[in-house]
Amino acid sequence: MTQKKRYNLHENHENDVGYKAYFQRFLDFTLPLVGQPVNALDFGCGRTSLLSTLLKEEGIACDFYDPIYHPDTLNDDKKYELIVSTEVFEHLHQPKDIFENLVSRLYKGGYLAIQTQFHSNDMERFKKWYYHQDPTHVVFFTVHTFTVLAKMCNCKVLSDNGINMVLLQKHN
């Protein structure tokens, strides 16, 4: 099944209260730690730009990009104070390359906030884990994975919730 066919099965609509609450939990984790960024990018937004809209409501100018639904919205020359990416990294065939690219789009001191379900490093639990049953989920992460990526890209992990969210900062 292609990414788009699988994603189209999701019932994600901008006026869905549950969908909005889902993103609000991510913002409740992220925004208290990043101050008031001037601009942001929602990388891998999917069909809707709801997260971008929610950031705009917080006073943060926000661009959005998705390779399937909004492929022509990325400005390669633009830098951001905050980049958010929710439920995207598990779909990436080259996650290190994408991570490096996103960090290169940050200003020094900028933030990268990622949401993806963390696995427990327990093979028996992994085999039964619902998240790994999705055939479009091709790579899985732990906080340690992001710590390693951060060190490779001149970043540091500032915070994580131990479940599915991590916030990194590009070194000054």
The Cα-based distances of 67 to 24, 62, 122, 135 in angstroms read 23, 17, 32, 18
pLDDT in tens, 114-125: 999 899 888 888
pLDDT in tens, 26-38: 999 999 999 999 9
Contact between 146 and 95 under an 8 Å Cβ cutoff? The reply is no
Contact between 112 and 146 under an 8 Å Cβ cutoff? The reply is no
Q: What is the rounded distance in angstroms from the CA atom of residue 5 to the CA atom of residue 58?
A: 32
The contacts found for 144-151 with CB under 8 angstroms, 24 or more apart, are 146/114, 149/95, 149/96, 149/99
Q: What pTM was computed for the model?
A: 0.89
Three-state DSSP at 10 gives coil
Which strands make up the sheet holding 39-43, listed edge to edge? 61-65, 39-43, 80-86, 106-115, 165-170, 155-160
The Cα-based distances of 87 to 19, 81, 125, 137, 140 in angstroms read 13, 20, 20, 10, 11
Q: Parse the chain into domains and list their residue ranges.
A: 3-170
**Between residues 18 and 111, the one the model is more confident about:** 111
Split at pLDDT 50, 70, 90, the class of 7 is very low
Structurally, at CATH architecture level, domain 3-170 sits in 3-Layer(aba) Sandwich (3.40)
How far from the centroid of its chain's Cα atoms is residue 110's Cα? 14
pLDDT reading at 153 higher than 50: yes
